[in-house]
Amino acid sequence: MTLGRPTRLDGSARTDHLMSTLVGVVAVYRRLSQFSGKRRPPVRTVDRNLSLVVETIRPEADGVVSLRLANGTPLPAWRPGAHLDLVLSSGLTRQYSLCGDPADRACYRIAVRRIGAASGEIHALAAGTRVTARGPRTAFPLVGAGPFLFVAGGIGITPILPMVRHCVATGADWRLVYTGRSRASMPFLGELPDDERVWIRPTPSTASRRRAPSSSTVSRTARRSTAAARWR
Of 14 and 113, which is predicted with more confidence?
113
Q: Is 27 helix (H, G, I), strand (E, B) or coil?
A: helix
8-17, 59-68, 200-209 — most confident range: 59-68
Domain 49-138 top-level CATH class = mainly beta
Q: For the chain, what percent of residues have pLDDT higher than 70?
A: 68
pLDDT of residue 226: 36
Of 165 and 202, which is predicted with more confidence?
165
* 168 and 175 Cβ atoms separated by less than 8 Å: no
pLDDT of residue 16: 63
* 19 and 6 Cβ atoms separated by less than 8 Å: yes
Residue 232 pLDDT greater than 60, yes or no: no
| Best CATH choice for the domain 17-39+142-224 from the list 3.30.420, 3.40.50, 2.60.40, 3.40.1440 | 3.40.50
pLDDT of residue 139: 87
* 186 and 158 Cβ atoms separated by less than 8 Å: no
Distances (CA, A) of 5 to 1, 28, 38, 114, 153: 13, 15, 28, 26, 16
- Between CA 178 and CA 151 the distance in angstroms is 6
Mean pLDDT, residues 212-227: 46
Strand pairing of 148-153 and 174-179? Answer: parallel
The residues with which 133 forms a beta bridge, in sequence order, are 50, 86
* 84 and 94 Cβ atoms separated by less than 8 Å: no
pLDDT band at 34 (very low <50, low <70, confident <90, very high): low
Residue 229 pLDDT greater than 50, yes or no: no
pTM (two decimals): 0.72
Average pLDDT over the chain reads 81
Report domain extents, the chain. Answer: 17-39+142-224, 49-138
Residue 21 pLDDT greater than 70, yes or no: no
Would you give the distance in Å from CA 49 to the centre of its chain? 24
Contacts of 16 (CB under 8 A, 6+ apart): 6, 7, 8, 9
Segment 55-84, tens digit of pLDDT: 999 999 999 999 999 999 999 999 999 999
Residue 109 pLDDT greater than 50, yes or no: yes
- Between CA 56 and CA 65 the distance in angstroms is 10
Would you give the distance in Å from CA 160 to the centre of its chain? 4
Q: For the chain, what percent of residues have pLDDT higher than 90?
A: 60
pLDDT band at 208 (very low <50, low <70, confident <90, very high): very low
Q: CA triplet 182, 211, 174: central angle to 5 degrees? A: 95
Of 35 and 230, which is predicted with more confidence?
35
pLDDT band at 48 (very low <50, low <70, confident <90, very high): confident
Number of H helices, E strands in the chain: 4, 9
Segment 143-158, tens digit of pLDDT: 888 899 999 999 999 9
